[in-house]
Amino acid sequence: MNLAYPVATPDSSVPLMGFTGPFETNLDFIRQAGYTGVELLVRDADELDASRLEIALSKRGLTAVSFGTSPMLAQDKLDLLSENDEIRAETFRRTVRMVDLASRFHAPVGIGKLRGNLQEGTGRTAERRDEIFRKLCEHCEKTGGSLVMEPQKYDNVNNLNTIDESLEWLKEMNSKRLKLLVDTFHMDLTEKDQFDSIRRANGQIGFVHLSDSDRKAPGCGRIDFGAVLKAFSDICYGGFFSMEIKQSPNSEEAAETSIKNLTRLSGQI
């Protein structure tokens, strides 16, 4: 089982659902806890030294398995559908630059709430959203990069919420550079049967977030993670699973609890 843990890169300085603070110290702990991958939470790729990132990860035997955009929203309030032309342009520019960085690590860029809400009577339309994603996919074709779009619960973002809706959207987008980032916390709230939804998404899952109910560590809430892992096993998902959870009581204990529970549960499949 390939497990990763989120960690903010040095350009980010807000609380996130992952390690924040001293970057290399955090990498040390993540590796010592038993993880082999990291999901890098990036605010501005232009503020990072890709070579130093490569060295820091290689030194510890860690792989960058995905690049998360949450700091762009949390820290700088960026939005791909913003009605402010400057904010929308800057969000697109930074996303393109993150694709450039992530492609160097052969990792996807995850887009969740950053895609923005739709709103009638404004420029916040599904057509504009899709045009932006097509341009990003075209850029991925040039760089060898890829994107993963995260279906999220309705009160997080008001579009592309369910797995079925998102699978239909992938067909319309028709890009080999675009897949889904599925999150067990969101699926618990949006799917009638998230285990069946995972199986229906077979071949279209590019990355996975694991989280129990209320964003607890896997195995600490009401979600049946034995059934979750069985569903991913049934579709032969061979990628990484990253923890998208509350850092409670702190990141160190959250990381240790997650890997302990998942190691036990995976042994029961």
123-129: long-range contacts at Cβ-Cβ below 8 A with a sequence spacing of 24 or more?
Answer: 123/81, 123/83, 124/81, 124/83, 126/159, 128/81, 129/80, 129/81, 129/159
Name the residue type at position 36.
Answer: T
Q: Report the DSSP beta bridge partners of residue 64.
A: 38
**What pLDDT does residue 172 have?**
98
| Residue closest to 181 by CA, chosen among 235, 102, 89, 110 | 110
DSSP structure class, residue 44: -
pTM: 0.97
pLDDT in tens for each of the 269 residues of the chain?
999 999 999 999 999 999 999 999 999 999 999 999 999 999 999 999 999 999 999 999 999 999 999 999 999 999 999 999 999 999 999 999 999 999 999 999 999 999 999 999 999 999 999 999 999 999 999 999 999 999 999 999 999 999 999 999 999 999 999 999 999 999 999 999 999 999 999 999 999 999 999 999 999 999 999 999 999 999 999 999 999 999 999 999 999 999 999 999 988 76
